[in-house]
Amino acid sequence: MKRLTFILIIFYACISSIKAQSETQSFNADGIKVIFKPTTKNVIDVRVYFRGGVTNYSAAQAGIENMALGGTVECGTQKYSPTAFKDTSDKYGLKLGSASGYDCGFIKLNCISKYFNQGWDLFSEAVKNPIFDADALKILKERTISINRNYDGDPNNRLEQLEMQNAFVNTPYTTNPDGYEETIKSFTVDDLKNYYKTLLNKNRIFIVVVGNVSKQEVFEKILLSFGNIPSTPYTPIELQSPVFNDKKMVMEKRAIPTNYISAITNAPDFTSNNYVPFLLGVSGLEGHLYHYLKSQSGLVINAGALVMSRKMPYLEMYANGANAQEIMLGISTKLKEIQNEGLDDEWLQHLKNIYISDSYIDEQSSSALNYSLGSAEILGNWQYADDLPKLVQMATLQQVNNALNFYIRGLKWTFLGDTDALKGFTPPDLNPSVK
């Protein structure tokens, strides 16, 4: 499981990145939405985002978008062979890459301002004219399968797969965006070419540019490179989060030194009025869980809570340790305690001060800024990122405590480890009342 050291997956990145709100702007370049943030940094980060993520393909095609986007930067273009593309990247220190997840995919360029023209030439070729060379694609497949095998071997990552299958049954989120060995092997050059054609649509993409470059230069480059991209109707699939109001548990037996446990529950949408109060509350919840389960009780090796801000958002609490029953009881007990007693105002003000102070430290990388703006746009509106410092100050203790009670009504438990330790055990109920 991607245990990055964040609680607020997009929140903290955004709040730490916006110093002058008026700097970030959006404009239209021949039908393509562009989000532009000039900075004084001499590193430029450009990304083309593709909306849709796992809603763009069937479960039988799991991983096709990840492979198609990977192929654009690794399998050659009309102008550059795979070898020439890599050699040019290395010569100028250009970093080109791609990724695809549950809600979107992207192709990116990261380079210093001095070599922006060279970087843009490779980037625009990758986006506009990929050829998916068969030999290069074979190498990409082999490397992707190897990466996935290593990833799946990590208990944290396997737990994440299980919890998605458990919590989001009958939704697109049960599809693994990284794909499986059998699906990856099955993709042909034509499969990836045809799929990528469906993505390259002015109504499906938007571009985020962050760095020391002028708006006029950005506009001209996009117009020249991408002006003739097709523009066809695109209607995103509306996703409705499941309501987690039970205590269903999914288990998988594995002979590992410790048990891995997670519990998923609902969270507000990114643009909801409850989003910031809930995130602040979860930050407090994580601290309480860690103190109770590790520092006070010594039950766990690690424990925490994080909000996954996605189209179908959720809160995940996790822990790993030997005594599975006591850990699950501890999570439920501490959660109910916080819901019943609430968090205190002194703590809330302290946390606000930390976040607001951080929002004026202009040390975020161009890449982090780009990800913050792009993610906010995918989840509803990039401008909401600019408003986060103000929304933090506006959040009240009552809003924080009400949000924790309103959204946390039941838990979907997932367990990986010694399943015999949970024979006959039933997770406790939460307090169903809404304050």
* CA 380/CA 156 separation, integer angstroms: 29
pTM given for the model: 0.91
Q: Give residue 4's pLDDT.
A: 36
Does some domain include residue 377?
yes
Residue 1: inside a domain = no
What is the predicted pLDDT for the residue at 346? Answer: 85
**With pLDDT > 70 as the criterion, what percentage of the chain qualifies?**
91
Cβ within 8 Å of residue 266, ≥6 positions away: 241, 243, 244, 313, 314, 315, 407, 408, 409
Final residue before a domain boundary, out of 175, 194, 226: 226
Say if residue 187 is in the same domain as residue 96. Answer: yes
Residue 18 lies in a domain: no
Residue 359: pLDDT band (50, 70, 90) is low
CB atoms within 10 A of CB 216: 8
Residue 251's pLDDT band (cuts 50, 70, 90):
very high
Amino acid in the structure at residue 45? D
Average pLDDT, stretch 224-236? 95
HEC letters along the chain: CCCCCCCECCHHHHHCCCCCHHHCEEEEECCEEEEEEECCCCEEEEEEEEECHHHHCCHHHCCHHHHHHHHHHHCCECCCCHHHHHHHHHHHCCEEEEEECCCEEEEEEEEEHHHHHHHHHHHHHHHHCECCCHHHHHHHHHHHHHHHHHHHHCHHHHHHHHHHHHHCCCCHHHCCCCCCHHHHHHCCHHHHHHHHHHHCCCCCEEEEEEECCCHHHHHHHHHHHHCCCCCCCCCCCCCCCCCCCCCCEEEEECCCCCEEEEEEEECCCCCCCCHHHHHHHHHHHHHHHHHHHHHHCCCCCEEEEEEECCCCCEEEEEEEECCHHHHHHHHHHHHHHHHHHCCCHHHHHHHHHHHHHHCCCCCCCHHHHHHHHHHHHHCCCCHHHHHHHHHHHHCCHHHHHHHHHHHCCCCEEEEEECHHHHCCCCCCCCCCCCC
- Does one domain contain both 148 and 275? no
Confidence label for 431 from pLDDT (cuts 50, 70 and 90): low
Query: Tokens 């930050």 sit at which residue?
Result: 283
Q: Check pLDDT > 60 for residue 77.
A: yes
CATH number (domain holding residue 382):
3.30.830.10
Instruction: Please state which of the ranges 99-108, 131-140, 279-288, 345-354 shows the lowest mean pLDDT.
Output: 345-354
Q: Looking at residues 217-225, what average pLDDT do you find?
A: 98
My answer on whether 254 and 197 are in the same domain is no
Residue 238 maps to a domain = no
Give yes or no: residues 194 and 270 share one domain. no
- Whether residues 259 and 209 share a domain: the answer is no
Q: Is the pLDDT reported for residue 9 higher than 70? A: no
Residues 218 and 117 in one domain: yes
Do 149 and 292 fall into the same domain? no
Summarize the confidence of residues 231-235 as an average pLDDT: 95
Give yes or no for residue 356 having a pLDDT over 80. Answer: no
Q: How many CA atoms lie within 13 A of 177 on its CB side?
A: 22
Asked if residue 277 and residue 417 are part of one domain, the reply reads yes
Shared-domain flag, residues 212 and 70: yes
Q: Are 72 and 107 within 8 A, CB to CB?
A: yes
pLDDT at 74: 97
Angle between helix axes 275-290 and 345-358 (nearest 10 degrees) is 110
CA distances 246 to 162, 278, 410, Å, are 17, 20, 5
Position 78 pLDDT exceeds 80: yes
Q: Residue 70 pLDDT > 60, yes or no? A: yes
Instruction: Answer yes or no: is 237 within a domain.
Output: no
Q: 400 in a domain, yes or no? A: yes
Q: What is the pLDDT of residue 258?
A: 95
For residues 129-136, give the mean pLDDT. 98
Q: Report residue 315 as tokens.
A: 């809160």
Is residue 432 predicted with pLDDT exceeding 70?
no
Give the pLDDT of residue 130. 98
Provide mean pLDDT across the span 342-348: 87
Range of the domain at 211: 32-226
Mean pLDDT of 135-155: 95
pLDDT at 8 over 70: no
Is the pLDDT assigned to residue 21 strictly greater than 50?
no
Domain membership of residue 20 (yes or no) is: no
324 and 187 share one domain: no
**Least trusted range by pLDDT, from 100-109, 179-188, 356-365, 420-429:** 356-365
pLDDT of residue 17 exceeding 50: no
Domain's final residue, options 195, 226, 257:
226
Same domain, yes or no: 134 and 268: no
The Cα–Cα gap between 152 and 213 comes to: 40
Q: Pairing mode, if any, of strands 32-38 and 95-100? A: unpaired
Q: Give the tens place of pLDDT for each residue, 101-128.
A: 999 999 999 999 999 999 999 999 999 9
Quick one: average pLDDT of 33-50? 96
Asked if pLDDT for residue 333 goes beyond 80, the answer is yes
pLDDT tens-digit series, residues 370-381: 999 999 999 999
pLDDT higher than 70, residue 159: yes
φ/ψ (deg, to 5) at 297: -100, -20
Whether 2 is covered by a domain: the verdict is: no
Q: Are residue 293 and residue 415 in the same domain, yes or no?
A: yes
Residue with tokens 């439920």: 332
Averaged pLDDT for residues 134-149: 97
pLDDT bracket for residue 388 (50, 70, 90): confident
At residue 72, what is the residue type?
A: T
Tokens of 43: 């590193």
Is it the case that residue 360 has pLDDT exceeding 70?
no
Q: Using CA atoms, how far apart are residues 356 and 388, in angstroms rounded to an integer?
A: 9
* Mean pLDDT along residues 216-227: 97
Mean pLDDT of all residues in 349-356:
75
What is the rounded radius of gyration, in angstroms, for the C-alpha atoms of the chain?
Answer: 23
- pLDDT of 262 higher than 90: yes
434 — pLDDT class (breaks 50, 70, 90):
very low
The structural domain count of the chain equals 2
Whether 358 has a pLDDT exceeding 80, the answer reads: no
Which pLDDT score is estimated for 13?
Answer: 44
Cα–Cα distance list, 216 to 25, 121, 191, 211 (Å): 13, 17, 37, 13
Interacting residues of 427 by C-beta distance below 8 A, sequence separation 6+? 247, 249, 328, 332, 411, 413
